[in-house]
Amino acid sequence: MDRNIYFDQDNRVRILDVDKFKASQALQDNCGKFVSNMQQLQDSVSKYVAAIDQQVERIETEKLKAVGLRNRVAAMQEERRHKQQELLQQLNEKQQELDRLLVEEQSLQKVRAMQESTIAKLLDASSTGVF
């Protein structure tokens, strides 16, 4: 293998010829820029991912709040339904008691009317002297 020795413009000894050295140097510079750009991209992606994670956390928190509110609303609806049934039952009981008292009142009015009729007959009979 033939190895040549070259000198660059600053009179430094080189193994590669000047054109290949310049190409190698340009490649090295481009690689450095690429690594720098990749680092910037990585930083941007990290910031973006962190922002997304924060949003995800907020969304999850809001979802939990929404589920809690939905459960609370469902519980309130169930409680209202239960209270409504309870009030309807009380209303039915009161209506039954009212009906019973009305029947009792009618019965007592009949008894009173009969008693007043009997008293009137007795008074009539006593005033006429028929005993």
- The per-residue pLDDT for 22 is 84
Higher-confidence residue of 1 and 114: namely 114
Average pLDDT taken over every residue of the chain: 91
On the question of pLDDT at 86 being above 90, the answer is: yes
On the question of pLDDT at 101 being above 80, the answer is: yes
63-79 exposure pattern, b = at least 16 Cβ within 10 A, e = fewer: eeeeeeeeeeeeeeeee
29-52 exposure pattern, b = at least 16 Cβ within 10 A, e = fewer: eeeeeeeeeeeeeeeeeeeeeeee
Higher-confidence residue of 97 and 123: namely 97
- List pLDDT tens digits, range 18-40: 788 789 889 999 999 999 999 99
